[in-house]
Amino acid sequence: MEYRKIIHIDMDAFYASIEQRDNPELRGKPVAVGNPSKRGIVATASYEARKFGIHSAMSSQKAMQLCPQLIFIPSRMEVYKSVSREIREIFHRYTDLIEPLSLDEAFLDVTENKMGMELATDIAKAIKKNIREELGLIASAGVSYNKFLAKIASDYRKPDGLYVIHPDKAPEFIAGLPIEAFWGIGKVTAHKMHSLGIHTGEDLRKCSEEFLHRNFGKNGIVYHDFAHGNDPRDVEAVRVRKSVGCETTFDKDIETPMALIIELYHITTELTGRLQKADFKGRTLTLKIKFADFTIRNHSLTVEYNLTTLPRILPLAKQLLRETDLQGKSVRLMGLSVSTPSSPPPDKKPTQLSFDF
> What are the residue numbers of the active site?
105
Strands 6-11 and 105-109, sheet pairing: antiparallel
φ/ψ of residue 8, rounded to 5: -115, 120
CA 64, distance to chain mean position in Å, is: 25
- Paired strand residues for 243: 339
Q: What angle do CA 171, 176, 177 make, to 5 degrees?
A: 100
- Paired strand residues for 10: 105, 140
Nearest Cα to 219, choosing from 189, 176, 181? 189
Strands 139-144 and 162-164, sheet pairing: parallel
**CB 195: neighbour CB atoms within 10 A?**
9
Angle between helices 187-195 and 209-216 (to 10 degrees): 130
Q: Decide: 154 and 171 in contact? Cβ < 8 Å.
A: no
- E strand or H helix at 199: none
How many helices and strands in the chain, by DSSP H and E? 13, 12
